[in-house]
Structure 1
């Protein structure tokens, strides 16, 4: 199970960070739910064609963030997304619908996935106000 996890070795973002970001996103939006098991470090590393230490570092950072937990007999499991601050409402469904719409629009316009990601990163870094 790679859950759609990919590593782009030509990306300047280190591979462990690419894995950490992708898994964190999958957990945050609920695709990976509490109790779901993650593949063993060596298995995911082999599937992605990278060193096991790279996956181990990503898992370690996810564990430090409270998103996953390593258990002796059960392997590594998702413990849940970060809790929303008290009094706030999570809008996961609305955000996912907006992201899905963005992806459809970009693909209809012939924009490649990597270009779309670069566009989103650029807009995020411009610190747009809501």
Structure 2
């Protein structure tokens, strides 16, 4: 999985809205951080795999983030650039939202990005 995850986390284009793209050691740290999240919070990021063909295209899930000094659940994802704008991130994030409310019983779930990530800031109607 390290090699597959590197396809998205090490790609500068795919990570343009994150702090930076990752080197090999940072990808390993990301995996360890996610495993820690599962032990501590009982959830984290999942692989996003295409149903048709089983191709790995990124990750998506629920992690606990420090937002304005408060530990809150957040839906996040990283998708390989060639799979952007095909609805995969929206589908994965929607499934995570349902899981957060219906299984984990969170009263609220957040998601955030940079201001210049226009496609992720749009709602279902295409409005900001």
Provide the TM-score with structure 1 as the length reference.
0.29
The structure richer in helix per residue is: 1
The structure richer in strand per residue is: 2
> Which structure is larger by alpha-carbon Rg, 1 or 2?
1
